[in-house]
Amino acid sequence: MENKILGIHHITAIAGDAKRNHDFYSRVLGLRLVKKTVNFDDPETYHFYFGNESGTPGTILTFFPWGNRVRQGRRGTQQVTEIGYAVPEGSLDFWKERLEANNMIYNNVSEKFGEQYLSFIDPDGLKLELTVPKKADTRTPWETAEVKTEHATRGFHHITITTSKHESTARILTDVFGYGLQEQEVNRFRFATDTVAHANIVDIVEAPGESIGLVAGGSVHHVAFRVQDEPSLMHFREKVIAQGLNITEKIDRNYFYSLYFREPGGVLFEIATDNPGFATDESVAELGTGLKLPPQYEGYRNKIESVLPKLN
């Protein structure tokens, strides 16, 4: 396959209480806990991966729940400020009632780029949107006892980046990642790639008078863009270097290989591979049921398990 960015791979955010985070995303939002592991740099903190049945790229939202060690974040420039999920037509009333029943803060249904959406805040202050796409999202969702297929999220629809000037971030999307400007509404610019049908939209909101955001609790840490394999990953490393930007060496994250760089607008970008996937240390049926540790921490399992918060 030609070297291409295949939309969004995953998004990683910061949370506070681990049990509260786990309960909201697995029960209220109805996502599957695909992987329960630890932060590679802080093994006494969980790293949760929520997604669809098999953890398909484009459905994965991950969290570092740092408990009372994390301060509250603040939305502003140099940040991913919104995460959009695709939902079926006719499902927004269900979600509005469900959010209200769980005492969540939400706004009334609105519209942008001809699509209806419902925005809300998760228990840590992270802003999410449920969007009904113009073209129905055909991905198979994870279904729970409380969130059935006719209402369930399909995976990511878009992300929103807020920046003081949109041009430098847009240039990375277009010149490096192959995205194109699709539409514009006032100060919101919508970019998309046609390499995939879903999880392929990035909105940039230009807000020159807004203060720089604080990446902490309730905010996005980074967004990962998807490539097929390691040769494609290294192809894009060279493209990023050609832009005069610093980028990491290849990092093995057990379930994918990654590179990280900070785009000129200040947001931390990752490029991540499809391979090897999440079913390497658990079967698809067992995903998320056991605590999976990187090899370097396996010898400390008893200690790590004793300090991690209990989820049930």
Q: Tell me the mean pLDDT in the region 7-16.
A: 98
pLDDT band at residue 22 under the 50/70/90 scheme: very high
- The whole-chain average pLDDT of the chain stands at 97
Percent of the chain with pLDDT over 70: 100
| pLDDT at position 150 | 98
- Reply yes or no on whether the pLDDT at 1 is more than 70: no
| pLDDT at site 225 | 98
Q: Cα-flanking dihedrals φ and ψ of residue 47, to 5°?
A: -130, 105
Residue 258 CA to residue 252 CA, distance in Å, equals 7
What's the pLDDT band for 71 if we cut at 50, 70, 90? very high
DSSP output for 89-141: TT-HHHHHHHHHHTT-EE---EEETTEEEEEEE-TTS-EEEEE--SS---PPP
What the block records as the tokens of 131 is: 């969007």
* pLDDT the model gives residue 2: 80
| Domains of the chain, start order | 8-307 (3.10.180.10)
Over residues 167-200, the pLDDT tens digits come to 999 999 999 999 999 999 999 999 999 999 999 9
Residue 74: pLDDT above 70? Answer: yes
Q: How many CB atoms lie within 10 A of CB 284?
A: 12
Angle at 113 between CA 109 and CA 115, to 5 degrees: 40
Residue 10, φ and ψ in degrees, nearest 5: -155, 170
The SS3 of residue 40 is coil
Task: Judge if pTM exceeds 0.95.
Answer: yes
Amino acid 312: pLDDT: 80
Percent of the chain, pLDDT > 90? 99
- Read off the pLDDT of residues 234-283 as tens digits, 9 standing for 90 and up: 999 999 999 999 999 999 999 999 999 999 999 999 999 999 999 999 99
Name the token pair of 163: 């920046």
CA distances from 140 to 52, 53, 197, 286 (A): 8, 9, 14, 18
